[in-house]
Chains A and B, each alone.
Chain A
Amino acid sequence: MIALKEVRKEYLQPNGERLRVLENITFEIAEGMFSSLLGPSGCGKSTILNLIAKLDRHTSGDILVNGNKIGFVFQQPRLLNWRTVTDNVALPLERDNSDKRGRRELAVKYLDLVGLSGFENYYPLQLSGGMQQRVAIARALVIDPDILLMDEPFSGLDEFTARKLRQELIRIWRETGKTIVFVTHSISEAVFLSEQILIVSQKPATIFKRVTVDVPYPREYGDLRLFEIETSLTRDFLEMNSER
């Protein structure tokens, strides 16, 4: 479970002024849930992820995170180009003293899960952007994380590749039962993927609204129920922007 209560985050700027990035962020995410943080670019969504991952410290409020193994997927694949795909996936395992063969076997297993069997010995630069992002997802899953944090992972891909990867992500999520927090600025992406959507407002960021998407999986693109939720979310966005 992840619970944030009245979390504030301020940065000290070079001119001495305090910049408030997060204002009173409160939400809960249950175990095994797929949640999205949806908001405009640069509103502080990534900061929330960094706080959950304990990569950054909040100024005030409470953050409760059950589980300390966290897998991270970034907007860019961030692979080590000089390592093979398998060795890239095995990288997070290297801090434990497990044997090399065990690490490789586990990496190969997760490469298979993301649909990359047969590419084990390729180097990242030999793969397409979509395949590189699959490698990054396998690398995040290989540590068997309690929580999977994804920071706009598909926004750098073309729409067709992104659609395919979203469907695969849902399949992987249902196979593994991970708690996923997914950051995006795309309304349709958030609606297609999530059980719960937390709408984040402009800086300083607050949770403007919480929306549940009550459509069973696997979902289809073009489903009218999804489309209706998308339309009402768009209205929420317009309302949110007019308030400021």
Chain B
Amino acid sequence: MNTIHRILSIVSLVLAWLILSFVFSPTIVPGPFAVLQAMWENVRSGQAFYHLYKTLFRVGFGLVLTMALGIAFGTAMGLSRRAEVFLESWVMVGLTLPAIVYSIICLLWFGLNDFAAIVAIGASAFPAVGISIWQGIKGMDTQLVSMGNAFKLSKGAIIRKIIFPQLLPHILAAMRYALGICWKICTTVELIGMSSGVGFMLNYWFGLFSMSQVFAWTLLFLLVMFAIEYLLFKPVEKRLTKWRNDVPIPLSA
């Protein structure tokens, strides 16, 4: 049932693309075959792997930095009232500033290198993660903690067995969301200041007005995102939230 719908949704997307490509000229909407051909050329020449690797490298470390900062800020704000008051304005500023501002500042400060890209990604994506963890801790069931105390569990055991499992769904959700933000910021940084990566290639082909190559790189990007979502995030999430999946949500009582 689900698989059929999923296949149908993808087929309909490709069909819509095909129809549009017949309506418009190839310089505006190139057809699926021209794009696949361009993609195949990129793969054969090794270009696809090189630039994809560069982008994945930056996104990967950017995501690690994002999660580390986000969890640190979120935990501090969730557990301490003082930290909450102190850090709230930081997070608000971080959330409000456009990612492009961080990108420009980091490129000017650190130069046109991977480090600048990673810092820019971490700085712009971590406030959203921080807020998610912060709310997760605030919404935690404290009665379960007092249950742990009543059964004389150690502080470490309470954190590992009662607090962390309640936070895990929030961390996972924040991570998926953060991955999307990190990709977007990374391509922006690559576009304005890098000489490698998917964002750089998009900019390069944009300069040469090659629509089929712009589409080819976008499609590659999408395919990798899908792979990460369905081969990594979905299975991990399904495993970790098995206890919830088995119970249907009773929308109509």
Contacts and interface: CB of A to CB of B under 8 A. Distances in A.
Interface string A116-140: 0000000111100000000000010
A53 interface: yes
Contacts of B33: none
A92 interface: yes
Interface residues of A, number: 22
A61 to B, nearest CB: 22
Given A125-B244, A126-B247, A94 B150 contact: no
Contacts of B154: 95
Given A76-B143, A80-B165, A94-B157, A55 B243 contact: no
B161 interface: yes
A94 B150 CA distance: 14
Interface residues of B, number: 20
A55 B150 contact: yes
Contact of A125 (B146, B157, B247): B247
B113 to A, nearest CB: 43
B153 A80 contact: no
B230 interface: no
Nearest to A145: B151
A94 B161 contact: yes
A72 B143 CA distance: 13
A126 B247 CA distance: 6
Nearest to B162: A80
Interface in B223-247: 241-244, 246-247
Contacts of B153: 91-92, 94-95
Contacts of B157: 94-95
B143 A78 contact: yes
A207 to B, nearest CB: 24
B144 interface: yes
Interface in B56-111: none
A78 B166 CA distance: 13
A81 interface: yes
Interface in B142-187: 143-144, 146-147, 149-154, 157, 161-162, 165
A74 interface: yes
Contacts of A72: 147, 150-151
B149 A126 contact: no
A123 B247 contact: yes
Contacts of A126: 246-247
B229 to A, nearest CB: 23
Nearest to B145: A78
Contacts of B247: 123, 125-126
A160 interface: no
A209 to B, nearest CB: 29
A219 interface: no
Contacts of A123: 242-243, 246-247
A191 B30 CA distance: 83
Nearest to B154: A95
A80 B144 contact: yes
Nearest to B150: A72
Given A80-B165, A83-B243, A95-B152, 15 more contacts: A53-B150, A55-B149, A72-B147, A74-B143, A74-B147, A80-B144, A81-B244, A82-B244, A92-B153, A123-B242, A123-B247, A125-B247, A126-B246, A126-B247, A143-B151
Interface of A: 53, 55, 70, 72, 74, 76, 78, 80-84, 91-92, 94-95, 123-126, 139, 143
